[in-house]
Amino acid sequence: MSQRVNIQFSIDLEELPAEVERLVDKFGDELETTSELFSELAEDVISIAGLEDLNGLRLSLARADHILDDITKIAGGYIQMKTQPQEQEQQETDQLNPFTPNGDTLSGLEEKLRAFRTRMADEQPTEVSNNQQ
C-alpha cells in the first residue's frame, strides 16, 4: 500500500481551472480502474483471489476518494477566497506583519512622544565639562 503525504503549493489564479480539470480527469481514470477491477472480481469472493480482488477495489476507491478530497479542498479554498471581504484580508495581512502601524500603535506612539517632549522641556540643560588634561 502506498503512503500519502500532504503538500501545499501555490499556483497563479488563472492556472486553477486547468489544475482542477487535471484532478477531475485523474478521478475519472481512477473510477475506470475501479470499474475494471469490479468487472474482474473473482466469482468466489470468499477465497484468496477474491480477497485480493476486494482489497484492490478498496484501494482504488480510496485513491478516488483522496482525489475528490483534494478537489473539494481546492474548491472550498477558492470559494472562501472569493467571498472573504477585502477588509478582513487586509486585517489578516496587518496581523501577520507586526511592523504595519495600526490605530492603536500610532496613538500609543504619539502619546509616548508627547510625554517625552514634556519631560525634555521640564529638564534643565546640564553643562558638560571637558576634563581633559
Give per-residue pLDDT as tens, 60-101: 999 999 999 999 999 999 999 888 876 666 666 666 666 665
| Phi, psi for residue 110 in degrees, rounded to 5 | -60, -40
Q: How far apart are CA 66 and CA 22, in angstroms?
A: 14
Which tens digits make up the pLDDT trace of 15-42? 999 999 999 999 999 999 999 999 999 8
**Neighbouring residues of 44: CB distance < 8 A, sequence distance ≥ 6:** 50
| Phi, psi for residue 63 in degrees, rounded to 5 | -60, -45
**Taking the CB of residue 71, how many other CB atoms lie within 10 A of it?**
17
C-alpha cell read off for 39: 468487472
